[in-house]
Structure 1
Amino acid sequence: MFAKLPLTALRGFESAARLGSFKAAAQELNISPAAISHQVKSLEAFLGVRLFERSSQNVRLSADGERLQPYLYRALLEIQHGLHMLAPSCTAQSLVVSTTPAFASLWLIPRLGDFHRLHPEIDVRLHSSNDVVDLQRDASVDLAIRALFKPDPQLFEQPLLDEYFGAYCQPGWQPPTAGSPVELIDVPWLSSANVAVDWAAWCAKADTLGWLQNARYRRYDEEQHALQAAVAGHGLVLASNVLVAEAVVRGQLVGYRPEIRLAGARYTVVCVPGRERQVEVRAFSEWVLGRNVG
Structure 2
Amino acid sequence: MSLPPLAALRAFEAAARHQSFKKAAAEIAVTPTAISHQVRLLEETLGVRLFDRKPRQVVLTQAGQELYPVLRDGFVSFANAIDRVRRRKTSRGLTVSVLPSFAAKWLLRRLPDFQKRHPDIHLHLHTSAEVVDLASGTVDAAIRYGRGPHHGLVVQTMFRETFAPICSPALGIQGFDDLSRATLLHLDWLNPDDVTPTWERWAEVNGVEGLGTSGGISFSDDTHAIQAAIAGQGVVLASPAMAREEINTGLLTMPFDLYLEGHNYHFVHTGRGNNRGEVEMFGDWLLAEVKKSQLHLENSLIDD
Task: Give the Cα–Cα distance (whole angstroms) in 2 for the partners of residues 159 and 200 of structure 1.
Answer: 28
Task: Name the one with the larger helix percent.
Answer: 2
Q: 1:108 is paired with a residue of what secondary structure?
A: helix
Aligned match of 1:205? 205
Conservation of the 8 A alpha-carbon contact between 1:168 and 1:237: yes
Is 1:255 equivalent to 2:272 in the alignment? no
The superposition leaves residues 202-250 of structure 1 with CA deviations (integer Å, 9 ceiling, x where unpaired) of: 223344442317x751221111100111122222110123322333333
Residues 106-156 of structure 1 deviation map (CA, whole Å, 9 limit, x = unaligned): 11112111112222221111111111001012x130110001214523100
> Please, which runs of 5 or more residues in structure 2 have no aligned partner?
1-84, 297-304
Report whether the alignment pairs 1:149 with 2:147.
yes
CA distance in 2, matches of 1:148, 1:201: 17
Alpha-carbon distance, 1:194 to partner: 3.8
Using the TM superposition, give the Cα deviation of residue 268 of structure 1 relative to its aligned residue in structure 2, in angstroms. Answer: 0.7
Structure 1, 244-253 or 232-241: larger mean CA deviation: 244-253
Is the 1:192–1:264 contact (alpha carbons within 8 Å) kept by the matching residues of 2? no
Distance 1:173 1:159, change over 3 A: same
Offset at 1:190? 8.0
- Measured in 2, the distance between the counterparts of 1:88 and 1:148 equals 41
User: 1:246 and 2:245 equivalent?
Assistant: yes
SS at match of 1:140: coil
Cα RMSD for the two superposed structures = 2.9
Residues 27-83 of structure 1, C-alpha deviations (whole Å, 9 max, x = no match):
xxxxxxxxxxxxxxxxxxxxxxxxxxxxxxxxxxxxxxxxxxxxxxxxxxxxxxxxx
Q: 1:121 to 1:178 in 2, by over 3 A?
A: closer
Any stretches of 5+ residues in structure 1 without a counterpart?
1-86
Choose the corresponding residue for 2:165, options 164, 167, 172: 167
**SS of equivalent to 1:225:** helix
Alignment of 1:110-259 (within 5 A): 110-137=109-136, 139-150=137-148, 152-171=150-169, 173-175=171-173, 177=177, 181-189=181-189, 194-212=194-212, 217-258=216-257
Residue 210 of structure 1 aligns with an amino acid whose one-letter code is G
1:107 is matched with 106
Q: Which amino acid aligns with 2:141?
A: L
Matched, 1:273 2:271: yes
Q: Is the 8 Å Cα contact of residues 191 and 197 (structure 1) preserved in structure 2?
A: no
Alpha carbons of structure 1 residues 276 and 250: separation in structure 2 relative to 1, 3 Å = farther
Q: 1:226 to 1:178 in 2, by over 3 A?
A: closer
Give the partner amino acid of 1:124.
Answer: L
Tell me the number of residue pairs that the alignment of Structure 1 and Structure 2 aligns. Answer: 205
Separation in structure 1 between the aligned mates of residue 189 and residue 93 of structure 2, nearest angstrom: 33
Q: Among the aligned pairs, what percent are the same residue?
A: 33
1:86-122 deviation line (CA, Å, top 9, x unaligned): x955532211010111111111112111112222221
Question: Aligned partners of 1:286, 1:94: CA distance in 2, in Å?
Answer: 17
